[in-house]
Structure formats: structure tokens, C-alpha cells
A and B are shown apart, each in its own frame.
Chain A
Amino acid sequence: MAPVRGDGMRGLAVFISDIRNCKSKEAEVKRINKELANIRSKFKGDKTLDGYQKKKYVCKLLFIFLLGHDIDFGHMEAVNLLSSNKYSEKQIGYLFISVLVNTNSDLIRLIIQSIKNDLQSRNPVHVNLALQCIANIGSRDMAESFSNEIPKLLVSGDTMDVVKQSAALCLLRLFRSSPDIIPGGEWTSRIIHLLNDQHMGVVTAATSLIDALVKRNPDEYKGCVNLAVSRLSRIVTASYTDLQDYTYYFVPAPWLSVKLLRLLQNYNPVTEEAGVRARLNETLETILNKAQEPPKSKKVQHSNAKNAVLFEAINLIIHSDSEPNLLVRACNQLGQFLSNRETNLRYLALESMCHLATSEFSHEEVKKHQEVVILSMKMEKDVSVRQMAVDLLYAMCDRGNAEEIVQEMLNYLETADYSIREEMVLKVAILAEKYATDYTWYVDVILNLIRIAGDYVSEEVWYRVIQIVINREEVQGYAAKTVFEALQAPACHENMVKVGGYILGEFGNLIAGDSRSAPLVQFKLLHSKYHLCSPMTRALLLSTYIKFINLFPEIRTNIQDVFRQHSNLRSADAELQQRASEYLQLSIVASTDVLATVLEEMPSFPERESSILAVLKKKKPGRVPENEIRESKSPAPLTSAAQNNALVNNSHSKLNNSNANTDLLGLSTPPSNNIGSGSNSNSTLIDVLGDMYGSNSNNNSSAVYNTKKFLFKNNGVLFENEMLQIGVKSEFRQNLGRLGLFYGNKTQVPLTNFNPVLQWSAEDALKLNVQMKVVEPTLEAGAQIQQLLTAECIEDYADAPTIEISFRYNGTQQKFSIKLPLSVNKFFEPTEMNAESFFARWKNLSGEQQRSQKVFKAAQPLDLPGARNKLMGFGMQLLDQVDPNPDNMVCAGIIHTQSQQVGCLMRLEPNKQAQMFRLTVRASKETVTREICDLLTDQF
């Protein structure tokens, strides 16, 4: 039987036995309900219960709760137990409170009072009980109530060691929910010096606390580095008998060692002092040396503890990435683990090697283990280990071994687990594209992917192969020939039909000379798949057919027959119906010349970051092994996340403006924040697409900063460099505005001390009041956070606020300022009016202070439709048929401020000969006149 010590509660044991004997769920519920009724009546009854009974019932309630049932009473009785002078009753009370935290404010006050009393106790057992309870609950209330006591307990000389340990971790728990609980100043050095404490338990607990404090404020706690290095060095060189009970299976203080090694990873470089660095390197070498020594015990605990320290040391070596010698040694060590008989070690070695593969010092070393890693991918029994091997192959891939690795991955894909196929497909597609020197190889790889794992080939993958084929003339004929052959398989995947349809539609003519792939043969082959495909693919095929009419006029009638088919012309799918009828008309009405123009070959896509990579990053945020350090050597122009979703196939954009076709052929995934349609209609579609994805998306320079363009639009990418992308979405109503700024960390490390500060003088703030929400100080790798701003226009103002963004990236401070898209025109309400009333008002506003005029040179070439688009985005109403000269543009709008509404008229007159513009602004307020005129000058 189970041994019962001291306080065994018979009633409880009987109850537990009863529950265990229940044959069914229903019986259990019945027994529990009976017990709950019993306890409820006891608690409500006239007879006062003594402590033991209360304890027993509270414990039963706890047991019932832990079985998964709801408990809605008993909290008061549990709180009563807290103040019992019997320890066992108190302890059960605390346990109940910790497990069933109740936010009921009355109870919390009582609980806090009990905890306060116990913290004062002279008995350390009571103090620890109270500390454990605070840590278990860890709420804001707790932090506020004990922000004085706990730090004192931690550093006071009178506190016993066991209490210090609990106090350190209790403080850490509270710090996580309420960072302001940690006192600064002299406390900092006292906390740091806990690393020197005699008692190993105290040091271990304190190191956890210090690690969290360092993450928050690395500079203030920098002093911990030297102490940590020397403590670590002493442990590592200690004999296992030195540390007595802190030696775990012959490994001296493994927990403390690992924590110290983690602590040091908060700094990069770990230290500037040569002496400290030398001592650290020596220590790391000792750890690596020990790995080679014969084990002191055969127990797995010994090897786990020893290797835990070793892996953490390797993490630090990788993190510093500065000691080639250590990196190479680490790599050799991990290589040995790859064939260890412990699955756990093989798994961790593969994982660690993924990081080593990204260091220029150890990349070549990692490659030496390629054979073993490939074997791991194929032979490991555990899918998570196989997956890790795939990750490593991806990370170690470069131009030299790409063909081999891709081939191996393709081979494996045929039998790979379903759970990892999709990710493998993405990885193969990325590697093939990134390291292709011969694009026929790339085309083969992707078609193989579709053949082997068609279901797992996402849109991005087949979109991408089409983009690349269109951009590379040398591969077009080959691609056409290959897809044609692939389509001849009796059963081919729908994705193959899509790719085949698209490529033959563009480049089928390149293989039409061969009688085996004559136009009619191509058409019949494609059409034989038509009825097996989804509507989306059919729509694509219909586009291919109309292109065929242009490429191969000789088969026009065959194709027209297909368009005319009942199932197409009267298809239940509106898109198919529309395409069939419009294409049919086009083929009948249009002359050969028109047809050739409309169905001209696709223009090249702008080079940009593979959209597939973006998908992979999204799938595994922060975990895509980035081999970007070697990226710089590769000649392929990779631009940042600049995306283009406006690339609609030219033949379709002229025929059809349904969204389905944009999706189908706009071969990319737009970032989610790009096409936000705010409630404000100021941002026209053309404007968003035209500007955001304009010429500088091809720009290789690091930073893209678009503020000027935001005069005419509300949403898009405001700023971008290699570390950070800032997107903005905004909406305005009357004199109020709301902005969402989206900060995206593009790097593989967290950006810390992240702090955007508004720069807008107090004087300006009286006119435009901007409120900004605070954001988290850490922006995790690959993550995006949002910051909300609200703006209230009180009176008209000039210019716009800026924000200064500062953060730490890899230990270096970064700072830049960005102007917010918050110029006064955002508060425009467009006003519709006819010519008569426009000119009447125009004449009324003829006072000296109400007029402002500028003449400026037009941007080359003079672009009138572009100017019109911009004005539509500016916020005023663009009025047609008002100005007798159709080239002139006139606008009207009202600026909403809290104090008044300011009517504003504008006229922009182009002079085509002189390539100049004359801008005239008239408004009822002088400052507005000038500001609007300034804002618009030189913008066209």
C-alpha cells in the first residue's frame, strides 16, 4: 500500500479509492457529485469544522478539480487554512490557492495578508511556503504587494540560503509579469554579486534571475560577465568531488554551468577584456576536451549532464562566431555524435550543426558530414530526427553540393512522411532556384517535385517556376518541351496541367516545328486534361487557348468550338462563363494585329526575393536556417520583400477585371498589410499598386524610404532596410485619424531595446495631438508587431510628425527617423461641386492671403494620368468637366479640424511645351493655403 506519512487523510484516501473503482465515467461523475454535495453541506452546516476537517475537504475539492471538474466553492475555507497555526493545514491551503487562483478581489486581499504574515515568520519553512505561493500565482497584485519585501530578502545578510534561493526565483517570476518590480541603482551590483555566493543553490537560482535582468537591460548588468566567466571556469576545472552534492552523476554542477553559459550568450562579443576572453576560451576548450575523455559512469544521467554542458558551450561558441578553432572543434565533436547510438544525441547534433553551417568558419567542416546526414534523412526511425536532417541539408547546401543534395532530397521525397513533405518541397524549390547555374536543371527539379509530390506543391512554387521561365529566354524552349513530355503521362497532377498550360500558352510555338508537338497535338493534349480539372485550372487553360489562337491561327476553329461548348458558355462558374464568351468574341472580332498586341508575350517579372522563401519563413518563423552570409557572393539580384502583385497578364487585364484572374496570374503572395482598404476611399487601387511596387522595388540599395509617396496614399510600406520593415495602414474620419505601424524584424535575431519615440514639438502638438501606444521592447526574429497611433487635428498645421526608432541589433545601436504620413491633407473631406459653384467660390477667395501660387518643373516625362491618380489620393475631390481646358485638373475639399473647417480649392495647369506645372491653391485660411501649396509643389 501507499505509505502515508504523518497527516494521512483517511477520508481522502477512501474517496480516491472510490473514484478509482468507478467502472464508468457516469459512475465517477455521480460519485463526485455526491461528494461535492457532502462537502458543501459540511461547509454550510452549523457544526464548526476543525482545521483537520477543513483541510481534508479542501484537499478533496482539489483532487476533484485536478480530475478535470469545475470547482466553484471552497475558496474561503482554503483561505482560512492559510492562517492556521498548523503547518500541514496551511500548506494545503496554499496548494489549493496556487492551483485554483481566484481573481475575486476580496479573497486576494486576505491571501496577501496571510502571505505577509508568513513572510515575517522566523521559520524559513513558512517563509518559503509564502514565497512559493507568490511565485505560483505571480500576478500583478502580488508584484505590487511584495515589491519591497522580496528584493530585501534576496540580498540581506540575515536571510538563510534556502530562503534566498526561493526569493531569487520568486522575484524572477514577478519580474516576468511586472518588469518594474526590480529596483535599480545599488541593487544592481548587489544582485550581480550573488554570483559569488558561497552556496551553489543560491548562485544557481540567482543566475536565472540575472539572465532575465540582463535581457532587459544588458548594459546595466554588464558586470556579471566577469563573475560568470570566473565562476564557470572554477566549476569546469573542479574535480567532481569538490562540489559534493552539487555534482550530478560525476558532472560538477551541470545546471549552474548551463545557466552561466546561457547568461554569457546575452552579450556579443561576450567581453572586450582580453584576459577574460582568454579565460573563457580556455574554459570552453576544457569542456570540449572533457567530451573526449572516457565516461566516468555508464549511466545515461552522466552522459546527459555532461553533454548538456557541452551543447550549451557549443551554443556559446556558435553565438560568438569569432573563434575558428573552437568552431571547427565543435563541429568535429558534433560529427561524432551523428553516429552515436543515442537518438537524443543524434537529434541535438543535427540541430546544432544547422547553426554551425551558417558560420563561414565552420561551413566547410559541416559539409564533410554530408554523407552521414543524408543517411540520417533516409534511415532514422524517428520522423523528427529525419526532419532535422532535412533542415541540416538545407542549411549546408551551397553551389558546390546543391545538385547532389537536391537529388537526394527528391529521392527521399517519394517515401517521405506526409507531415514533412510540404516543407521539403519548399526547401527543394528554394535550393534549386538559389543555386541553379543551369536553369534547365531548375526546371527539371520543379517538374519532378510536381510529379513526385504534386499535392504538396503550393501555388507559390509553381508560380515561381513560371516567373523564372518567363524571365530566362534560354530556358523557354526547354521548358516547353519538358512540360509537353510530362503532360503525356496518363495521370498527371493538376499542378502539372497548370504549369504546362501556362508555359505552352506562352512558348508552345518554340516546339511547334516538331510534328510530334504540332499545334493541334499540343492543344489536344492539354484539352484532354480539361475535364478532370478544377474551375481555376480550367480558367487558366481557357487563357492558354486564346493565346494559342494568336500563336497558331491554323487551329482557331478547334479552339472556338471549345469556347462555344455549352459547358463553357453556360458554365455554372461565372469566371469560366465570362472567359469563354469574351475570348470567343475576341477571337471573332479582333484582327490579327489586335490579337497579337493583346496577347503579346508576358513581360519579364521584376527580380525579387523568392516568394517561396517567404512562405518557408512564415511556416517556421525564426527557424529557417539562413545561409545568407554566403549569399553576398551569389550574383543573383535578391531584393528584399518588395513584392509585386500588380502583374496581371496583359491579355487578361484588357479583357477582364475580375479578381479571380488577378489571383490566378498575379504570380505572387502579397504581404498581408499591403492591400488594406481603409474606410477612406482616398487610396485608389491604382495608386496603391503603382506607387508601392514602383521602380524602387528593384533597388538593391539597402534602405527604402517612401514617405513622400504617402502624401497620396494611406497604406503601404513606409520604410525598409535589411533589418526592419515598417508598414503603415491608416484611416481618417473628420478631424480624427488612426494609424497602425507594423514593424517587421527581417533578421534572424531579436531586436532589443526597441523603442519608437514621437518627435513632435509641444507647440505643434497643440495643433495636432498624436497619441502613441507603447510597444514591447523586444522584436523577435522574423516577427511583426503593431503599434497604434491616434491623431486628432485641432487646428491646421505645417509639416508632419516624425518618429525616431532606436533598437539594438547584434549588440550595435541603430537609430533612424521617419516622417509619419500625417500631413494636414489627410483630414480632407472631398467636396463634389459643379463648374458654376466652383468658380463662384474661386472668385470669392481672391484676397491676398487666400491665394498661393507656384510654378515648377514637371517630373520627366510629364505624366498627366499619373498626376490625376496622385490627386485622387491626396484627399480632395478631383472635379471633371469644371475647367474648360481638359488637361487642367481642379480639386475641392474641406479640411476638418476641431476648431473649424477650412474650405480649399486647387487648380493644377500643365504646360506641355515647357514641361511645367502651375499650381494655384485658394483657401479661406492663409496657413492652409500655404501648406497645401507647399505640399503639392514638385510632386508631379
Chain B
Amino acid sequence: MMLFMLLFSRQGKLRLQKWYMAYPDKVKKKITRELVTTILARKPKMCSFLEWKDCKIVYKRYASLYFCCAIEQNDNELLTLEIIHRYVELLDKYFGSVCELDIIFNFEKAYFILDELLIGGEIQETSKKNVLKAIASQDLLQEDETPQSFFDDHGWAKLAPMQK
């Protein structure tokens, strides 16, 4: 079972956190701090797995983002790397060549996609096609129902292009 997943930048900024175990907020912050420091200090060719407390850490860097998962002693490290990869593929497909900014500005989407891939720290659906289908059907529901105030909100000023 996965205990938690953290996404953070090379500068150590936390971009996404998903906890599959109930930790108090204080503990979450402490864990995050410790892991970010530990992982950022590691060199590129080093092993992607770490013994940490009573669990194992599996991490991988994609461009400017680190994806870091904690799993239980018995869990399979290599396949956890591939869970990370599958998630990246899904984000990439959804946002179209994903970058860190997509995840910052659309963090809620990143959560929704993760919830389709993993539930309670276990893999729910390994098929990329099926997850994308589920997300697409959510978006479809949303597009049907755009409310008036959405237009109001965007009406009085044109959305300025944001820098990536």
C-alpha cells in the first residue's frame, strides 16, 4: 500500500500532496520537510529507492518535478516507479505535454486524475485508456453545466496569457 505521494520542485516547493494514511498536520509537514531535503541532496545516478523510517521511499524526477512515494516494506519498488510513470503519462495526455505550471494552476485536476488511478493507496485502474475515459466523462459533465457567473467572471477582462 502506498502511504503518501508528494510532488515537489527542484527548489523544494511542494506542488501536490496526497496522504493515504491519517497523519496529524504537524507530522505531515515534518515528513515533507525531511524527505524534500533528503531527496534533493541525492545525485542523479543514485538509486531511486531509500530505506526511510519503517517504510521505503521511491522517487523519480521528471523535468523540474520530483515525484516521491512512500510504500510499505513488502511493496514492490520497481512497480511503484511505474505507478509514478503512469501518473505522469496521464497528466501529460490530459494537459498535453504537462509542465509544472499546469499542476500549479490546475492542482484540483491533478488530484482528480490521481483519484482515478489510486484509491486508498492501492492501484485502481492500470489502463491508461480507461482512466482518461473516466476523466473525460467528468469533463463532459462539467461542460454541460457552465453557470452564468462563470461568464461574468471572465467577461469584464480578457484572460491575460500566463507565462510558463
Answer whether A347 and B78 are a contact pair too, CB < 8 Å, given A135-B120, A245-B128. Answer: no
Answer whether A254 and B82 are a contact pair too, CB < 8 Å, given A88-B142, A91-B112, A169-B119. Answer: yes
Q: Is the beta-carbon distance between A381 and B126 smaller than 8 angstroms?
A: no
Q: How far is the CB of B163 from chain A (nearest CB, A)?
A: 8
Q: Which residues of A contact B148 (CB under 8 A)?
A: 50, 52
Tell me if A730 counts as interface (CB < 8 A to partner B).
no
Task: Give bound CA distance, A132 to B121, whole Å.
Answer: 11
Q: Is the beta-carbon distance between B120 and A170 smaller than 8 angstroms?
A: yes
Answer whether A381 and B122 are a contact pair too, CB < 8 Å, given A53-B149, A201-B130, A248-B82. Answer: no
Answer whether A138 and B142 are a contact pair too, CB < 8 Å, given A132-B119, A382-B47, A384-B49. Answer: no
Q: Which residues of A contact B128 (CB under 8 A)?
A: 245
**Chain A interface residue number, banded:** 35 or more
Interface stretch of the complex, out of A60-68, A604-612, A652-660 = A60-68
Q: Nearest CB to that of A251 among chain B residues?
A: B82
Q: Is the beta-carbon distance between B122 and A169 smaller than 8 angstroms?
A: yes
Q: How far is the CB of A288 from chain B (nearest CB, A)?
A: 16
Q: Which of B107-146 contact A (CB under 8 A)?
A: 107-109, 111-112, 115, 119-130, 134, 137-139, 141-143, 145-146
Q: Is the beta-carbon distance between A258 and B142 smaller than 8 angstroms?
A: no
Q: Which of A219-271 contact B (CB under 8 A)?
A: 245-246, 248, 253-256, 258, 262
**Chain B interface residue number, banded:** 35 or more
Q: Is the beta-carbon distance between B126 and A204 smaller than 8 angstroms?
A: yes
Tell me if B27 counts as interface (CB < 8 A to partner A).
no
Q: Is the beta-carbon distance between B147 and A66 smaller than 8 angstroms?
A: no
Interface stretch of the complex, out of A303-311, A572-580, A710-718 = A303-311
Q: Which of A382-428 contact B (CB under 8 A)?
A: 382, 384-385
Answer whether A1 and B162 are a contact pair too, CB < 8 Å, given A172-B122, A308-B82, A348-B78. Answer: yes
Q: Nearest CB to that of A51 among chain B residues?
A: B147
> Mask for A161-185, Cβ within 8 A of B = 1, else 0?
0100110011011001000000000
Tell me if B81 counts as interface (CB < 8 A to partner A).
yes
Q: Is the beta-carbon distance between B142 and A384 smaller than 8 angstroms?
A: no
Q: How far is the CB of B115 from chain A (nearest CB, A)?
A: 5
Q: Is the beta-carbon distance between B119 and A10 smaller than 8 angstroms?
A: no
Q: How far is the CB of A330 from chain B (nearest CB, A)?
A: 16
Q: How far is the CB of B14 from chain A (nearest CB, A)?
A: 8
Q: Is the beta-carbon distance between B153 and A52 smaller than 8 angstroms?
A: yes
Partner among B101, B111, B134 whose Cβ is within 8 Å of the Cβ of A162: B134
Q: Is the beta-carbon distance between A16 and B150 smaller than 8 angstroms?
A: no
Find the residue from A87, A138, A346 having the highest chain B CB count within 10 A: A87
Q: Which residues of B contact A131 (CB under 8 A)?
A: 119
Q: How far is the CB of A11 from chain B (nearest CB, A)?
A: 6
Q: Nearest CB to that of A16 among chain B residues?
A: B105
Task: Give bound CA distance, A165 to B102, whole Å.
Answer: 28
Answer whether A138 and B141 are a contact pair too, CB < 8 Å, given A2-B106, A165-B125, A173-B120. Answer: no
Q: Which of A10-50 contact B (CB under 8 A)?
A: 10-11, 13, 16-17, 20, 50
Q: Which residues of A contact B138 (CB under 8 A)?
A: 87, 91, 125
Tell me if A301 counts as interface (CB < 8 A to partner B).
yes
Q: Is the beta-carbon distance between B141 and A95 smaller than 8 angstroms?
A: no
Q: How far is the CB of B160 from chain A (nearest CB, A)?
A: 9
Q: Is the beta-carbon distance between A308 and B79 smaller than 8 angstroms?
A: yes
Partner among B1, B16, B125, B162 whose Cβ is within 8 Å of the Cβ of A2: B162
Task: Give bound CA distance, A312 to B74, whole Å.
Answer: 10
Q: Is the beta-carbon distance between B108 and A62 smaller than 8 angstroms?
A: yes
Tell me if A5 counts as interface (CB < 8 A to partner B).
yes
Partner among A20, A63, A101, A343 whose Cβ is within 8 Å of the Cβ of B46: A343
Q: Which of A890-927 contact B (CB under 8 A)?
A: none
Find the residue from B1, B95, B112, B127 having the highest chain A CB count within 10 A: B127
Q: Which of B78-108 contact A (CB under 8 A)?
A: 78-79, 81-82, 85-86, 95-96, 101-102, 104-108
Task: Give bound CA distance, A10 to B156, whole Å.
Answer: 11
Answer whether A66 and B17 are a contact pair too, CB < 8 Å, given A170-B119, A245-B130. Answer: yes
Task: Give bound CA distance, A518 to B22, whole Å.
Answer: 68
Q: How far is the CB of A749 from chain B (nearest CB, A)?
A: 12
Tell me if A472 counts as interface (CB < 8 A to partner B).
no
Q: Which of A111-148 contact B (CB under 8 A)?
A: 125, 128, 131-132, 135-136, 138
Q: Which residues of B contact A753 (CB under 8 A)?
A: none
Q: Which of A625-674 contact B (CB under 8 A)?
A: none
Tell me if A6 counts as interface (CB < 8 A to partner B).
yes
Tell me if B30 counts as interface (CB < 8 A to partner A).
no
Task: Give bound CA distance, A152 to B64, whole Å.
Answer: 44
Q: Which residues of A contact B22 (CB under 8 A)?
A: 101, 138
Q: Is the beta-carbon distance between A245 and B127 smaller than 8 angstroms?
A: yes
Find the residue from B42, B47, B106, B142 having the highest chain A CB count within 10 A: B47
Q: Is the beta-carbon distance between B102 and A246 smaller than 8 angstroms?
A: no
Q: Is the beta-carbon distance between A3 and B102 smaller than 8 angstroms?
A: yes
Tell me if A7 counts as interface (CB < 8 A to partner B).
yes
Task: Give bound CA distance, A613 to B160, whole Å.
Answer: 66
Tell me if A932 counts as interface (CB < 8 A to partner B).
no
Answer whether A2 and B47 are a contact pair too, CB < 8 Å, given A128-B134, A201-B125, A304-B78. Answer: no
Q: Is the beta-carbon distance between A135 and B119 smaller than 8 angstroms?
A: yes
Partner among B81, B104, B159 whose Cβ is within 8 Å of the Cβ of A16: B104
Tell me if A86 counts as interface (CB < 8 A to partner B).
yes
Q: How far is the CB of A519 from chain B (nearest CB, A)?
A: 51
Task: Give bound CA distance, A173 to B118, whole Å.
Answer: 12
Task: Give bound CA distance, A200 to B129, whole Å.
Answer: 13
Find the residue from B126, B130, B148 having the highest chain A CB count within 10 A: B126
Answer whether A204 and B119 are a contact pair too, CB < 8 Å, given A2-B164, A20-B104. Answer: no
Q: Which residues of B contact A87 (CB under 8 A)?
A: 138, 141-142, 145
Q: Is the beta-carbon distance between A2 and B127 smaller than 8 angstroms?
A: no
Q: Which residues of A contact B143 (CB under 8 A)?
A: 5-6
Partner among B42, B77, B126, B129 whose Cβ is within 8 Å of the Cβ of A253: B126
Q: How far is the CB of A453 from chain B (nearest CB, A)?
A: 21
Tell me if A9 counts as interface (CB < 8 A to partner B).
yes
Q: Which residues of B contact A56 (CB under 8 A)?
A: 153
Q: Is the beta-carbon distance between B108 and A169 smaller than 8 angstroms?
A: no
Q: Nearest CB to that of A172 among chain B residues?
A: B120
Q: Which residues of B contact A136 (CB under 8 A)?
A: 115, 120
Q: Is the beta-carbon distance between B47 and A347 smaller than 8 angstroms?
A: yes
Q: Is the beta-carbon distance between B147 and A254 smaller than 8 angstroms?
A: no
Q: Is the beta-carbon distance between B106 and A6 smaller than 8 angstroms?
A: no
Q: Which residues of B contact A62 (CB under 8 A)?
A: 108
Partner among A66, A200, A204, A344 whose Cβ is within 8 Å of the Cβ of B48: A344
Answer whether A52 and B147 are a contact pair too, CB < 8 Å, given A10-B154, A87-B138, A248-B126. Answer: yes
Answer whether A343 and B78 are a contact pair too, CB < 8 Å, given A86-B145, A87-B141, A245-B129. Answer: no
Tell me if B51 counts as interface (CB < 8 A to partner A).
yes
Q: Is the beta-carbon distance between A9 and B46 smaller than 8 angstroms?
A: no
Q: Which residues of B contact A162 (CB under 8 A)?
A: 125, 130, 134
Q: How far is the CB of B101 from chain A (nearest CB, A)?
A: 5
Q: Which residues of B contact A445 (CB under 8 A)?
A: none
Q: A6-B139, A10-B157, A20-B104 are in contact. List 10 more A-B contacts (CB 8 A).
A: A7-B146, A10-B159, A66-B107, A86-B145, A125-B141, A138-B22, A172-B120, A258-B76, A305-B78, A344-B48
**Which residue numbers of A lie inside 8 Å of B, CB to CB?**
1-11, 13, 16-17, 20, 50-53, 56, 59, 62-63, 66, 68, 86-88, 91-92, 95, 101, 125, 128, 131-132, 135-136, 138, 162, 165-166, 169-170, 172-173, 176, 200-201, 204-205, 208, 245-246, 248, 253-256, 258, 262, 301, 304-305, 307-308, 311-312, 343-344, 346-348, 381-382, 384-385
Of the A-B pairs whose beta carbons lie under 8 Å apart in the complex, a sample of 29, sorted by A's number, is A6-B146, A7-B150, A9-B153, A10-B157, A13-B105, A56-B153, A66-B16, A86-B142, A87-B138, A87-B145, A91-B138, A101-B22, A136-B115, A169-B124, A201-B127, A204-B123, A204-B125, A245-B127, A248-B86, A254-B82, A258-B76, A305-B82, A308-B77, A344-B47, A344-B48, A344-B78, A347-B47, A348-B49, A384-B49
8 closest Cβ pairs, A-B complex: A173-B120, A308-B78, A169-B119, A87-B141, A245-B127, A308-B79, A88-B142, A382-B46
